[in-house]
Structure 1
Amino acid sequence: MWVKAIRVHELGDPKVLSWEEVEIGEPNEGEIRIKNKAIGVNYVDIYYRTGLHRAPLPFIPGKEAVGVVSAVGPGVTSFKVGDVVGYADNPMGSYAEEQIIPASVAIPIPPAIDYKTAASVLLKGMTAYVLVRQAFKVQRGHTVLVHAAAGGVGSLLCQWANALGATVIGTVSTEEKAAQATQDGCQHVIVYTMEDFVTRVTEITSGLGVHVVYDAVGKDTFKGSLACLMPRGCMISYGQSSGSRPDPVRLSDLAPKSLILGRPGLMHYTTNRNELLLAASEVFASVMAGVLQVRANHVYLLSEAARAHTDLEARRTSGSIVLVPDSQWL
């Protein structure tokens, strides 16, 4: 069967996102086909489009979607046609009207959570879960610094850390985003385009520093983030929107304060189906309990993926970005 999809034939700016027809077959052993209803956009999609992360050309980008099962392959007993499922992280290829994925990575979506909300929170929410509950376990009394606090993951990180009893400091680029970060649980918000975040963190913490920094920006903030940490503090890097070359830190830079540096990836915390479903259940439970307010602030047609990428790279967005297949647009 033929479906419409976004495909990348060469690496480069958003113009390389080509809207075209692609052929997909029937699901094989252990696979299901899903008709996508909502597709999550994540910064990692830009990394693949530009070549920072590698994928064989041509490829369909996207690592998150929610949809309805349209066919099941031989041996699949856990899902049936009509089930609502989502997936996050792997495999790549969600920028399509329909796609085939292994049944082992499909996650049942609770009826109380709609398509757009689920596609906004599944990958980002499980990432936030790993960051605050696994890679560094945030506890009451901790002080945390979250860069890009109004972004898709950043917004969830601030809410979750606040709910766990931490004092949350967030950095944002505009006063408008500062207002959102405050709503998301930041007790202190720093507009880094107007003031130096290291100086402000020092003032806020009376020179003590923070227990943990969550940094998705990369080289532009890396050394400043280390300077914000208290002795034995933890630096969690989970992205590099400002670039990753050259390496922003030497191992010896950690020694003066006995700092810990981590670069966790969701795939290493969801290595089996039990871990995957546990992470997803934590996210869905937090959404349904009101701990996490999901901000699907920007919705585009799938055919407008290039515009979505342009806006994301230009930092014109906050919260989550969702693509809706043109045939599903209401």
Structure 2
Amino acid sequence: MNSAIRIHQYGGPEVLTLESVAVGEPAAGEVRVRHSAIGLNFIDVYQRTGLYPVAGFPQTLGMEAAGVIEAVGAGVDGFAAGDRVAYAMALGSYCNARLMGVDKLVRLPDTIDDQTAAAMMLQGMTARYLLKSSFPVQAGDAILVMAAAGGVGTLLCQWANHLGATVIGCVGSADKARLAQENGCHHTILYKEEDVAARVREITGNAGVAAAYDAVGQATLMASLDSLRPTGTFVSYGNASGPISDFNIGLLAQKGSLYLQRPTLATYIRNRELLNECAQDLFDVVQSGAVKVRIGQTYPLAEVAQAHHDLEARQTTGATLLLP
């Protein structure tokens, strides 16, 4: 039997339960993937709590993993049994094995191991669309990255540095500041102790940043907006501190004719062409050594509740993996 982590209601980490679930053979257009490593992301928390509702219960959580194709259903092109694969944005990864369509699957290069792949697909492709689509970063741009020591943050800072940007990272502790600096930040700000916007103005000669990438949400909204240059871009791509609500769009005018985007990775990998382009960019930058994937911690799949607790308490750094 296959082990899976499922929820039967929304709630805290305690609603995550380990259960035995049959897998079976793939139907037409499906494959069966045996997981070797599973990524943990904040979107998993949002779905567990109901901030992002799931279709129904019981529900297996998890949005990314890496492993090997065990079996292939009729009509599948481009994939075969034995292929090493990875995916992101496909609900149901908290399990040993699963059936799934191939629309989110990509084959892995031989030079990228399974744990690295599971740690980087969702977060790395997120960093890619943030830097190349939400706001196309150019050499010489100054940017602000909230949660710079987190999973997306460490990849985003390295990649932005590689593109020639001046990277300002916002973090919660001195240890996280050191980690952010090791991962491409030229300047770090301790948001609990310093006035973020004032420090950004100091660092940029009062110019402000071209873009602020914010995965924290409500708690850092004003700091991000106040750090932007005129016509700067605020990209809100997460809600770690809670969702932004009752936003007054007039603030964008008052603070310098600002742009605001609330993107999601699903939009940027919505078809095979976009997925392949996004994944290939990620593979290329990792294989070049310009971006290194840091796995901060791993947990057995059965200990997923503790992993969720630690993620929500901001006790994790880099990427977090669940191991089946």
CA distance in structure 2 between the aligned counterparts of 1:136 and 1:187, rounded to whole angstroms: 19
The answer to whether 1:311 aligns with 2:310 is yes
2:80 maps to 80
Return the offset for 1:103: 1.5
1:252 maps to 250
Which contiguous aligned blocks of 4+ residues in structure 1 show a shift greater than 4 angstroms?
none
CA distance in structure 1 between the aligned counterparts of 2:217 and 2:266, rounded to whole angstroms: 20
Contact kept, 8 Å, 2:218 with 2:239, in 1: the verdict is yes
Contact kept, 8 Å, 2:32 with 2:70, in 1: the verdict is yes
Structure 2 SS opposite 1:104: coil
Deviations 1:76-98 (A, max 9, x none): 131111110011012x0000000
Contact kept, 8 Å, 1:30 with 1:104, in 2: the verdict is no
The answer to whether 1:323 aligns with 2:322 is yes
CA distance in structure 2 between the aligned counterparts of 1:226 and 1:105, rounded to whole angstroms: 34
Instruction: Return closer, same or farther for 1:13/1:133 CA change in 2, 3 Å cut-off.
Output: same
Contact kept, 8 Å, 1:38 with 1:323, in 2: the verdict is yes
Return the offset for 1:298: 0.6
CA distance in structure 2 between the aligned counterparts of 1:254 and 1:323, rounded to whole angstroms: 40
1:41-120 aligned at under 5 Å gives the runs 41-55=40-54, 56-90=56-90, 92-120=91-119
CA distance in structure 1 between the aligned counterparts of 2:220 and 2:296, rounded to whole angstroms: 25
The answer to whether 1:225 aligns with 2:224 is yes
Q: Which moved more, 1:24-33 or 1:154-163?
A: 24-33
Contact kept, 8 Å, 1:209 with 1:229, in 2: the verdict is yes
Q: Which moved more, 1:158-167 or 1:99-108?
A: 99-108
CA distance in structure 2 between the aligned counterparts of 1:49 and 1:42, rounded to whole angstroms: 11
1:328 maps to none
Structure 2 SS opposite 1:198: helix
Structure 2 SS opposite 1:211: strand
TM-score w.r.t. the length of structure 2 is 0.98
2:208 maps to 209
CA distance in structure 1 between the aligned counterparts of 2:311 and 2:208, rounded to whole angstroms: 31
Contact kept, 8 Å, 2:89 with 2:104, in 1: the verdict is no
1:173-322 aligned at under 5 Å gives the runs 173-244=172-243, 246-247=245-246, 249-256=247-254, 257-322=256-321
Gaps of 5+ in 1: 326-330
CA distance in structure 2 between the aligned counterparts of 1:276 and 1:246, rounded to whole angstroms: 31
One-letter identity of the residue aligned with 2:83: D
1:139 maps to 138
Deviations 1:173-205 (A, max 9, x none): 111111110011111001112212122112111
Contact kept, 8 Å, 1:28 with 1:74, in 2: the verdict is yes
Q: Which moved more, 1:293-302 or 1:71-80?
A: 71-80
CA distance in structure 1 between the aligned counterparts of 2:201 and 2:144, rounded to whole angstroms: 11
Return the offset for 1:25: 2.3
One-letter identity of the residue aligned with 1:236: V
Return the offset for 1:224: 1.5
The answer to whether 1:169 aligns with 2:180 is no
One-letter identity of the residue aligned with 1:87: Y
Aligned residues: 322
CA distance in structure 2 between the aligned counterparts of 1:223 and 1:155, rounded to whole angstroms: 23
Return the offset for 1:290: 0.6
Contact kept, 8 Å, 2:35 with 2:65, in 1: the verdict is yes
One-letter identity of the residue aligned with 1:103: V
Return the offset for 1:245: 5.0
Return the offset for 1:261: 0.2
Deviations 1:94-142 (A, max 9, x none): 0000011112221001111111100000111101000001111000110
CA distance in structure 2 between the aligned counterparts of 1:315 and 1:132, rounded to whole angstroms: 24
RMSD: 0.9
One-letter identity of the residue aligned with 1:66: A
TM-score w.r.t. the length of structure 1 is 0.96
One-letter identity of the residue aligned with 2:2: V
Contact kept, 8 Å, 2:217 with 2:244, in 1: the verdict is no
